[in-house]
Amino acid sequence: MIKAHAKSLTTAERLDLALSVLSDKKADNIVVLDLRELNYVLCDYFIVATAESDRQAQAIVDTLTDKLKEAEGKRMGYRVEGYEVGQWILLDLGDVVVHILSPEARAYYRIEELWGDAKMISYA
């Protein structure tokens, strides 16, 4: 059900919602990269997580977009890339970008190492 008077979430609320969905859907090795101190202009946070299958990754994205729509009342211009294949799905929420990768893709691309100057927060 969509709230009649929904509002745009704050960055902290959007980050918390994404982390909650990732945890509920059993994503592994969830890490938050805080990019604010790097003055990265495209977003404030990267979330990187592992999904064991393309279906799990797709289910995470589906649930997260549904929850965001519930909270905000409409889709706020979010972009999804890689959904059809599911090996690396990128969900751009504006201030938060969620990367959901297969174990093989995560090992190969090593996003955390590419952003080694960012403050890294493990989420359990």
Number of domains in the chain: 1
Q: Is the CA virtual torsion 56, 62, 65, 68 positive or negative?
A: negative
Q: What is the pLDDT of residues 68-96, one digit of tens each?
A: 988 887 666 789 999 999 999 999 998 99
- Range of lowest pLDDT (16-25, 35-44, 57-66): 35-44
Cβ-based burial of 106 (10 A; exposed 0-12, middle 13-18, buried ≥19): buried
Does residue 75 sit within a domain?
Answer: yes
Which residues constitute the domain of residue 84?
Answer: 11-123
CATH number of 19's domain: 3.30.460.10
Does residue 2 sit within a domain?
Answer: no
Does residue 49 sit within a domain?
Answer: yes
Q: Tell me the whole-structure pTM to 2 decimals.
A: 0.89
d(CA 87, CA 57): 8
List Cβ neighbours of 117 (8 Å cut-off, separation of 6 or more): 38
Does residue 20 sit within a domain?
Answer: yes
* Span 21-26, average pLDDT: 96
Whether 50 contacts 119, CB under 8 Å: no
